[in-house]
C-alpha cells in the first residue's frame, strides 16, 4: 500500500488538543498524529504508479500571512501477518525533494496491538517487529510459556490450537512513517517530490482469477470484484489470453498496488489539479482499478485527470500477468533480488542488473 502526504505540526511530546479549531496535528504521546490544516493548499498533484516505481509531485501554497513550519509525514502501509502470504514489502529507495533540493527524512515505526504501542514488549523477548517475516510462527512458538501468557494478554499474539501442539501466531500491526520538518513560506508555492519503489503484493503461484485450465474464477469474492471494479468484460479478456496457446505449466498471477488518496482531504480545500497515470508494465498484462474518466494514453499506460478533486475513496490497482522467466524487467524487485524464480534467479537477473548499470555481463 502507498499513502499520500499528510501533515503533523512540529510540537513534541504533547497530547492532541481538544479544540476543533486546531489546524494541524502534532507529536502525541504515541508518536505522530495526523489532522487537517486550513492554511496550506494542495494546488496540484502529479501521480505516477507502476510495479517498479512511484513518482509523486505536489505543489503546495501557503495562503496564510506568515510562514508556517509543519511536520510533513508520509505513512507507509500498515503491515500485518496477512502479508506473510502475499509477499508485500515495505517501500524502498524513498527519496524526497523540495524545490529540487534533497531533504533528509526521519523514520518512525510502532508496534500496535490491543490498542497500545507494544515495541518494548517485543524487544523484551528479542522479537522482530515485522509481522510478515518468514518463520515467525516458529520463532514465537519456541518462546517459553510465561512469554506466551504475557504476549497473549497484551494482544500481541494469538494461541492457535493444532493437532501437533498449540502454535503462537502474530497478531500485531507495524506502522511505519517517514517525516520531516518543512517551512511553507507565506504567499508562496513550493514543490514537494517523492520517488520510491513501492510495496507490491501478489497472489500465490496459481492466480485466484485464472483457473487451472485458463478459465476465470467466477467465484472470486464479490468484495474483491468491487474493490478493483472487475467486470465480465475484464474476466472474458483474461480468459481469452490465458486460454490462447496455453501450456500446462503456464502460470498467471496477480499484482496488487494500493494508494490511499483520502488523506488528500487533510489539506485546505480540494486538490486543484489531479493527474494520475497507472502503468501496467507490459502490453499483454491486464489492469483494473476504480476511477471515472480513465483514458488509455499508450500501450501500457492509463490516465485520469480531475480538477478541484476531493478524494473520497482510495485507489486499488489489480494487474493480472503471466509469470515470466527471466523476470519481467518492469518489476524492480525481481531483477535485484531474484524474487519468485527457481534457484533464486541470480543467473537471470545479474546480467540484467549489470546491463542496466552499464557494466559488461560475465
Which residue(s) pair with 224 in the sheet?
A: none
Q: Where exactly are the structural domains of the chain?
A: 119-171
SS3 108: strand
Residue-wise pLDDT for 96-150, tens only, equals: 999 999 999 888 889 999 999 999 999 999 999 988 777 889 999 999 999 999 9
Q: What is the mean predicted confidence (pLDDT) over 226-242?
A: 82
In this structure, how many other beta carbons lie within 10 angstroms of the beta carbon of residue 336?
16
Length of the chain: 362
* Cα distance between residue 241 and residue 118, in whole Å: 48
The closest of 234, 238, 191 to 214, measured between CA atoms, is: 238
- Give the Å distances, CA to CA, from 204 to 201, 229, 251: 10, 21, 10
- Is residue 28 pLDDT above 50, yes or no? no
> 330: pLDDT confidence band, cut at 50, 70 and 90?
low
Residue-wise pLDDT for 33-48, tens only, equals: 555 778 889 999 999 9
187: left (phi over 0), alpha (psi -120 to 50) or beta: left
Q: Find out whether 157 and 151 touch, Cβ atoms under 8 Å.
A: yes
- pLDDT at site 317: 92
Q: How far is Cα of residue 1 from the mean position of the Cα atoms in its chain?
A: 2
pTM score, two decimals? 0.73
Q: What is the dihedral of CA 111, 117, 122, 127, to 10 degrees?
A: 0
Amino acid at each position: 500500500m502507498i499513502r499520500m502526504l499528510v501533515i503533523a505540526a512540529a510540537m513534541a511530546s504533547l497530547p492532541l488538543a481538544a479544540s476543533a479549531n486546531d489546524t494541524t496535528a502534532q507529536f502525541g504521546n504515541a508518536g505522530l498524529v495526523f489532522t487537517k490544516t486550513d492554511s496550506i493548499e494542495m494546488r496540484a498533484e502529479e501521480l505516477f504508479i507502476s510495479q517498479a516505481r512511484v513518482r509523486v509531485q505536489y505543489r503546495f501554497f501557503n495562503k496564510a500571512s506568515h510562514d508556517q513550519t509543519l511536520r510533513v509525514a508520509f505513512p507507509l502501509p500498515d503491515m500485518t501477518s496477512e502479508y506473510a502470504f502475499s509477499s508485500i514489502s515495505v517501500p524502498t529507495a524513498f527519496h524526497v525533494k523540495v524545490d529540487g533540493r534533497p531533504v533528509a527524512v526521519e523514520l518512525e515505526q510502532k508496534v500496535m496491538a490491543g490498542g497500545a504501542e507494544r515495541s518494548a514488549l517485543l524487544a523484551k523477548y528479542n522479537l522482530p517487529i515485522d509481522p510478515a517475516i518468514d518463520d515467525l510462527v516458529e520463532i514465537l512458538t519456541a518462546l517459553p510459556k510465561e512469554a506466551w501468557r504475557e504476549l497473549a494478554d497484551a494482544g500481541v499474539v494469538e494461541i492457535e490450537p493444532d493437532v501437533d501442539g498449540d502454535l503462537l501466531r502474530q497478531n500485531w500491526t507495524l506502522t511505519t512513517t517517514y517525516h520531516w520538518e518543512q517551512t511553507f513560506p507565506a504567499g508562496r508555492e513550493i514543490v514537494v517530490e517523492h520517488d520510491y519503489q513501492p510495496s507490491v503484493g501478489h497472489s500465490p503461484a496459481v492466480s485466484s482469477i485464472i483457473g487451472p485450465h485458463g478459465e476465470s474464477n467466477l467465484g472470486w469474492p464479490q468484495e474483491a470484484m468491487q474493490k478493483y471494479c472487475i467486470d465480465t468484460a475484464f474476466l472474458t479478456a483474461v480468459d481469452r489470453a490465458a486460454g490462447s496457446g496455453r501450456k500446462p505449466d503456464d502460470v498467471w498471477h496477480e499484482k496488487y498496488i494500493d494508494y490511499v488518496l483520502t488523506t488528500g482531504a487533510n489539506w485546505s480545500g480540494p486538490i486543484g489539479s489531479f493527474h494520475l497515470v497507472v502503468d501496467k508494465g507490459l502490453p499483454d498484462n491486464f489492469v483494473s482499478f476504480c476511477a471515472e474518466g480513465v483514458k488509455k494514453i499508450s500501450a501500457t499506460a492509463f490516465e485520469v485527470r480531475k480538477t478541484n478533486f476531493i478524494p473520497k475513496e482510495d485507489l486499488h490497482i489489480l494487474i493480472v500477468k503471466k509469470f515470466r522467466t527471466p523476470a519481467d524487467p518492469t518489476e524492480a524487485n525481481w531483477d535485484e533480488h531474484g524474487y519468485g524464480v527457481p534457484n533464486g534467479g541470480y543467473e537471470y537477473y545479474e546480467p540484467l542488473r549489470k546491463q542496466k548499470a552499464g557494466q559488461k555481463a560475465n
